Chain A
Amino acid sequence: METWDILRNIWFILIGVLFVGYSILDGFDLGIGALFPFLGKKEEEKEALIKSIGPFWDGNEVWILTGGGALFAAFPHAYATVFSGFYLALMVVLFSLIFRAVSLEFHAHDTKRKGFWEGAFVVGSLLPSLLFGVALGNVVAGVPLDNTMNYTDNFFTLLRPFPLAVGLLGLTAFLVQGSTYVATKIGGVVQERARQIAKTLFFPNKILLLLVFVLTIVYMPEALKKPLAWVSTAFLGCALVVLYIALQKAKDKLAFLSSSLAFMSLWGILGAIHFPNLVKASNDPALSLTIYNASSSILTLKVMLIIALVGMPMVIGYTIYLYKIFKGKITVA
């Protein structure tokens, strides 16, 4: 393999790593947002929930910003195709993220409209949790593209059964991530509730997983031939068994850890099936955007790799420091 292709492969994996980081970290605060009314009933409980993500959510969100930036830099065509093609859906995501971010700061100060900002936090967390999966499902299943790499259909094409199923699967995964995190972080009645919700969500999540598996085999039978997809599926299976046991035995930290590993395995399966495509063309496979025809130059990929190798270890280092500083349980008065 020539150097350029090696770099393209590396960047496919690195962008995946950024998305995994986002799913695991911002995953829990998105999940908490979407489950907010179910997790917190009294005022102090809601406060505790917000506090549990207070120092973290902003840094967590940077994973998707950096992921988007890395996609732009490494595979500009994929970035351009997805963001112009899925225009309205991504606008919904953007407005959700805006409302979500300001609501976390505003709700405490703008007491007159506290309810409104709480609602904005919930909806602003719920919609992205669903739509990220829908977008991903479309990219994997394929969308109609023309020979200038542009998406040719409208918004409603995006709402096909496979992408919707992936969206719902992603949503439940975010919810499990959020509820298992809360169980590790907050004590008392909120913890009990979070454990209960995580248990309740376990089976709908598995049914959706099964549905997505079946749909994948129906729409993309070639997926069965990818060894890495099988390895990731085995990994996912193990993570889910551990998650099930951890939930039954109320081992909160283990539950969060296995939920995170399950999320990672999902990305592994997706990456294995999708590689080397970035945006599949449903009308003609020759029009698909792959890591080969959509990438940046060898020099840009090299420079970016240096940036990532210098920067990301530091990021991981001080992120661990952040979680260390704020470790320990929050008690609800």
Chain B
Amino acid sequence: MDTVLLAKIQFGFTAGFHFLFPPTTLGLTFIILIIESLYLKTNEELYKKISSFLIKILAVVFVMGVSTGIVLEFAFGNNWAEYSRMVGDIFGAPLAAEGVFAFFLESVFLGILVFGRSRISKRAYWWSAFFVFFGSHLSGIWIIIANSWMQTPAGFKIEGGRAVLTNFLEAALNPSTVERYFHTIAGGWITGSLVATGIAAWYLLKKRHIEFAKPLLLISMIVFIIVSILQLGLGHAHSIQVAKTQPEKMAAFEALWETQEGAPFAIFGIPDESQQKNHAYIGIPKMLSILIHFDPNAKVPGLNEFPKDERPRVFVPFVSYHIMILLGMVFIGVSVVGIWLFARKKIYDSQWYLKLLLFLIPLPYIANETGWVAAEVGRQPWVVYKVLKTADAISINVPAGNILFSLILFIVVYTLIAAVGIPIILRLIKKGPEESVSEGY
């Protein structure tokens, strides 16, 4: 089998699996910080109970994130050695900085959060919660810097066939870092808050731990409602940036084969790569031009503008991008209904809505993954946009058999981790918050 393809599948699988956990961590640490702040302020035991319960879940999620994250730290050397040689001068630094500034912070203070409640003052414990929150969000900054540099490289020059750093700030704050960061963090907050609302909804439906479930639902719903509506703007800003900095990627997202003035926004369609057209296409006329340029007649470049060997594939980016947008709209719809139910003080008794919240839990994960797939597949054939092609980034001395062998092992081991880890989290939820405070050291 083809080495490049195998290495791509391996990276896609290991990174995609890993990416289930960090967004959950981002959202949960934020909600835990809110609840710990309430506890610090009101001294209400209930808040302590809720927070301790969420910290238990966080610990399991976090360890799965850490263990699958180690793999990625070394994947660039394993399968992508030429990439590491070519761009290591720039790409290595954010990974190292993530270790120094973020991983230590998260790991050390999570240790305190899980084991140290009875050993330190309330204020010190609140700071620990803050540092776990802060560390995981800081970790996000560095990894987004690394990823964004691959999408919109800046602050470097090519010297002797290698990319060499010329300006650290320009490289770090390249044209897509800020938009991507806020969009991704918002995705994480939606994920974490929906996990928390789902748990609270389940208790309310089962009529268990009602005292506990109500404030948890309230707090996480507020986060969910605000962030899912904010995400509309953040996602939009990110899309505008993509259209401006990687126009062929936007053309693939929208399956826009020909350059058009007053380009439509696709609602449905089946892109056909061989015929370079779409079947069963439904679109909103002029909408894409409006969204990108705030001008219904603005020109949007189609795929025909770009050399054939520098275009991304269309089908996967198109489908995943639109699934993500659809889910974003679903979240906004659910939020609006939520606001209405809150206003009428009916939210805790609306069985159907609580059920809906419960079944919503998998959706943010699909949104995160499809958004990521759209961004990364849409960047192809480049691994670093206009600098290095993915096919030239591979380790030249690693036989395909080795990659295949390790890929199979990854699939087996990660399936096992999911098959054990997810039931553990479900069991923790079933057990409920009662036993959660007892974790001592």
Contacts and interface: CB of A to CB of B under 8 A. Distances in A.
A226 B218 CA distance: 67
Contacts, number: 218
A55 B441 contact: yes
B51 interface: no
Given A51-B441, A59-B111, A70 B398 contact: no
A111 to B, nearest CB: 10
Interface stretch (A38-46, A92-100, A248-256, A268-276): A92-100
Interface string A56-68: 1011011001101
Contacts of B73: 65, 68-69
Interface stretch (A156-164, A203-211, A239-247, A312-320): A312-320
Nearest to A307: B97
A148 B82 CA distance: 10
B254 interface: no
Contact of B397 (A65, A72, A150, A303): A150
Contacts of A325: 112, 116, 119-120
A277 B229 CA distance: 55
Interface in A268-320: 296-297, 299-300, 303-304, 307-308, 311-312, 315, 318-319
Interface stretch (A81-89, A174-182, A190-198, A227-235): A81-89
Interface in B74-121: 74, 76-79, 81-82, 84-85, 88-93, 95-101, 103-105, 107-112, 114-116, 119-120
Nearest to A312: B100
Interface stretch (A1-9, A101-109, A212-220, A257-265): A101-109
B104 A150 contact: no
Contact of B420 (A66, A113, A321): A113
B111 A54 contact: yes
Nearest to A98: B67
Nearest to A81: B81
Contacts of A94: 70-71, 74
B428 interface: yes
B63 interface: yes
A295 to B, nearest CB: 9
B70 A55 contact: no
A73 B109 CA distance: 26
B281 interface: no
A322 interface: yes
A52 B73 CA distance: 28
A77 interface: yes
B168 interface: yes
Nearest to A100: B67
B403 to A, nearest CB: 8
A80 B99 contact: no
A242 B417 CA distance: 44
Given A69-B96, A69-B99, A102 B74 contact: no
Contacts of B77: 72, 79-80, 82-84
Contact of A88 (B164, B402, B417): B402
Interface string B272-287: 0000000000000000
Interface bracket on A: 35 or more
Nearest to A104: B63
A33 B406 CA distance: 24
A151 interface: yes
A297 B89 contact: yes
A65 to B, nearest CB: 5
Question: By CB atoms of chain B within 10 A, which of A54, A299, A308 has the most?
Answer: A299
Given A73-B93, A74-B92, A61 B107 contact: yes
A73 B66 CA distance: 21
Contacts of B95: 69, 72-73
A66 B100 contact: yes
B397 A152 contact: yes
Contact of A311 (B84, B100, B165, B396): B100
B166 interface: yes
A101 B63 contact: yes
Given A55-B116, A91-B409, A113-B420, A66 B67 contact: no
Most buried by A among B76, B77, B90, B405: B77
B41 interface: no
Contacts of A73: 88, 92-93, 95-96
A299 B165 contact: yes
Question: Which of A104, A149, A307 is most buried by chain B, counting CB atoms within 10 A of its CB?
Answer: A307
Contacts of B59: 105
B360 to A, nearest CB: 25
Contacts of A95: 409, 413
Contacts of A312: 100
A81 B396 CA distance: 11
Given A62-B104, A84-B78, A87-B78, A296 B89 contact: yes
25 contacts: A51-B441, A55-B111, A55-B114, A56-B111, A62-B103, A73-B96, A74-B96, A76-B84, A76-B85, A77-B85, A81-B81, A83-B78, A88-B402, A91-B409, A98-B417, A101-B63, A101-B66, A110-B420, A296-B88, A297-B89, A297-B165, A303-B168, A307-B97, A311-B97, A318-B108
Interface of A: 51, 54-56, 58-59, 61-62, 65-66, 68-70, 72-74, 76-77, 79-85, 87-88, 90-91, 94-95, 97-99, 101-102, 104-106, 109-110, 113, 148-152, 296-297, 299-300, 303-304, 307-308, 311-312, 315, 318-319, 321-322, 325-326
9 tightest A-B CB contacts, nearest first:
A76-B88, A83-B77, A73-B92, A66-B99, A55-B111, A69-B96, A311-B100, A72-B92, A101-B67
Interface of B: 59-60, 63-64, 66-68, 70-71, 73-74, 76-79, 81-82, 84-85, 88-93, 95-101, 103-105, 107-112, 114-116, 119-120, 131, 164-166, 168, 395-398, 402, 405-406, 409, 413, 417, 420-421, 424, 427-428, 441
Given A55-B114, A65-B70, 11 more contacts: A58-B107, A70-B92, A72-B88, A77-B84, A80-B84, A84-B398, A90-B78, A300-B90, A311-B97, A311-B104, A318-B109
